[in-house]
Structure 1
Amino acid sequence: MSTSENLWVPSACTLPTVEQPLRAAEFEQLFARSVQAVRRVDPITLDLTIASTAEAEARDLARREIACCAFFTFDFLPADDDALVLRIGVPVSATYTAVLDAVQARALTAQAGGQRM
């Protein structure tokens, strides 16, 4: 899900290196189109409120991400009629917290860019 400069990919990730930028781009597109709010629940949990219309896309990305980065957890929680919460979790570890920090930064950047449109 990432590149070495932004810590999206720890050594535990099994996604082939050539595919990592493509996966990161998929997440960034989802974030830019769908993220309505970003909230860090605690050091190992990130909540992204996303448009309900993006649920199928988000579930597909989550399923594929877990296949290569089994340390992630993705839960989908109800928010309201037009949104849901994508809760992303990682194990307690400085490495994984740094990965979640990078995801949060990307979501915030994409959200800000999407709001300017």
Structure 2
Amino acid sequence: MADLITTDACTLPTAERPLRVAEFDSLFAASATAVSRRGDGSVRIALSGGPGLVERVRDLIEREAACCSFFTFAVQGSDEELTLDVSVPPGRRDILEALAARAEERTGGGWRREPARG
């Protein structure tokens, strides 16, 4: 968690960072079903839920991308089942790993490694 809160690459005020991490934790605890580390260095988080999930995810990642512009997010799917793909430049992989680890902790460790796609 320290990487997510102390990074100098984030423009979110320091006092607000734990709240943002808590928002991700809440999302992952409620909806994450699996985490995949992909061969290209990105992470895919599978989520499932009900009405409002897509909107909740999009709102959170839009706010996160506004303060941490090194993140690239892509959402595909519906409220019932969606994927959240997250990538960062190579120099920020420690932060992506910290985010993926938090998601894994909240899915009971449901992760896998996917091969690179050409």
Structure 1 length normalisation: TM-score? 0.82
The yes-or-no answer on 1:108 pairing with 2:107 is no
Identify if the C-alpha distance between structure 1 residues 92 and 82 changes in structure 2 by more than 3 Å, giving closer, same or farther: same
Partner of 2:42: 45
> Alpha carbon RMSD of aligned pairs, Å?
1.9
Equivalent pairs: percent with the same residue? Answer: 41
**Do residues 76 (structure 1) and 75 (structure 2) align?**
yes
1:87 maps to 85
Alpha-carbon distance in structure 2 between the residues aligned to 1:15 and 1:60: 15
Query: Over residues 9-29 of structure 1, what are the superposed CA-to-partner deviations in whole Å (9 max), with x where a residue is unaligned?
Result: 421100000000000000000
CA deviations 1:46-77 (Å, max 9, x no partner) are 00011153211110000000000000011012
| Moved beyond 3 Å, runs of 4+ | none
Q: Name the amino acid aligned to 2:16.
A: E
Tell me if structure 1 keeps the 8 A contact 2:54–2:79: no
1:21 matches 2:13: no
Mapping 1:48-63, distance limit 5 Å: 48-51=45-48, 53=50, 54-63=53-62
- Distance of 2:101 and 2:40 partners within structure 1: 13
TM-score (norm 2): 0.81
Gaps of 5+ in 1: none
Name the SS for the 2:4 alignment partner. coil
